[in-house]
Amino acid sequence: MASVVDWADRELRLTDHVSVLVGAENGKYPSGNSLLVRGAGEAVIIDPSVDVVSMGGAPAPIDAVINSHSHEDHMPGNGLFIEARVHIHDDDLPGARSIDGLMEVYGLTGETREQFAAEVIEHFNYTPRPDAEGFTDGHVWDLGTVHVEAQHLPGHTRGHSGFRISDGVFFLSDIDLTGFGPYYGDVWSDLDQFDESLAAVRDEDAEYYVTFHHKGVIEGRERFLELLDTFHAVIPRRHEAMLEFLREPRTLDDMVAHRFVYRPHVDHTFADSVERRCASLHVQRMLERGEATEIAPGTYRAA
C-alpha cells in the first residue's frame, strides 16, 4: 500500500500542478523520472518507477496511474498504487494486465522468456492489473484546474504515448533524446512508426519537455528540437552501418553477433533478441528501397 511521501529535493516542481519525481542518476535505466500531476479533483502519477516503489509512494495521494506504455520500467508502481485506477493505451493493455501479455510485447520465447519474466517480477515489482483501462489517442483526463491529454506515439511499442499537460509540460516518455537513440527492438516495435512519431512530436510546443530516462527536463522548444534531431539521426546512422556491413554477404545471425544497438560488453538477457529485431527491420527497409538483395535464403548483401 502506497503512502504519501516527502521526496524533498527529488521532487522537481515545474508548475503549480506538475512535478517530476526524479529517479536515480536522473532516471538512468532501470530507474526513471515519473510525473506527478495534482489537480483540484484528482492526482495522477505517470509511469511510477522503481524509485517510487523504493520510496514507498508519492508526495500526494494517487487516484490514478497512467502508463505511457507496457515496458517493465514504466509499471513498477502499478502494484504499489493498488487502489488507484490504471490507464494504458488500448494497444498495450495486454502488457499491463498479465505477465504473459508483457512477454508477448517483447516477443520472447523459451528460457529467455522465463528468465526475463522472473527478473521483471523480482526487480521491477511487476503486478498484474487485469483491471487496467485502455485509452486512445486524444483521450483527456480532467483533473480539475489541469488537464492531461494523450498523444499516441507508436514505434517504441504499439501503444507508446506521450502526454500533453495544460500547464505547458509535455511528457515524452521513451522518446528519451539520449545518445543511444530510438529503441525499436521488440516484436511490438515498428521502425516506420517510430520515424512518423518523431516527425509528429516536433509539432509539440511546450515550456518543459520531460523524458523518462536520462535527459529529464528540457526547457524550451529550441533546445528540445536540437536534441530531437540528434536522437532521430541515430536511425539513419545505424542503417548506414548495417548497410556497410552487408557489403559482404551476411545473415541475421552475423548481424546479431556484430552488435549495432548495444556495445559488445553489454550483457542484457534480451540483447540478442533486440539486435535481431532491429537488424530485421533495417534489412526489410533496405530490401524495400532496393539497397540490398537476398542472395540466398536468409543471406543478404548490399546492392
What mean pLDDT is reported for the chain?
Answer: 96
pTM of the entire predicted model: 0.95
Q: 26 with 39: CB under 8 angstroms?
A: no
Q: Which DSSP state fits 217?
A: E
Over residues 113-158, the pLDDT tens digits come to: 999 999 999 999 999 999 999 999 999 999 999 999 999 999 999 9
Residues 6+ apart with CB under 8 A from 128: 96, 97, 98, 99
Residue 1: per-residue pLDDT: 76
Peptide bond into 30 cis (omega under 30): yes
Least confident of 66-80, 99-113, 139-153, 243-257: 99-113
Inter-residue contact 48 to 58 (CB < 8 Å): yes
| Measured distance CA(46)–CA(34) in Å, rounded | 6
What CA–CA distances, in Å, run from 9 to 22, 35, 64?
9, 15, 24
Q: What is the per-residue burial (b if ≥16 Cβ within 10 Å, else e) of 153-184?
A: bbbbbbbbbbbbbbbebbbbbbbbbbeebbbb
Q: What pLDDT, in 10s, does the model give residues 206-255? A: 999 999 999 999 999 999 999 999 999 999 999 999 999 999 999 999 99
pLDDT at residue 187, rounded to an integer: 92
At residue 268, the pLDDT reads 74
Q: Which pLDDT score, from 0 to 100, does residue 263 have?
A: 85
Cβ proximity of 94 and 104 under 8 Å = yes
For the stretch 36-58, pLDDT in tens is 999 999 999 999 999 999 999 99
CB atoms within 10 A of CB 128: 16
Give helix 191-201 / helix 221-232 axis angle, nearest 10°.
160
Q: Which helix (H) or strand (E) holds 149?
A: strand 147-152
Closest CA to 55 of 23, 13, 100, 12: 23
How many residues are listed for the chain in this entry?
A: 303
Run of H or E residues at 199: helix 191-201
Q: Tell me how far apart the alpha carbons of residues 114 and 299 are, in angstroms, rounded to a whole number.
A: 30
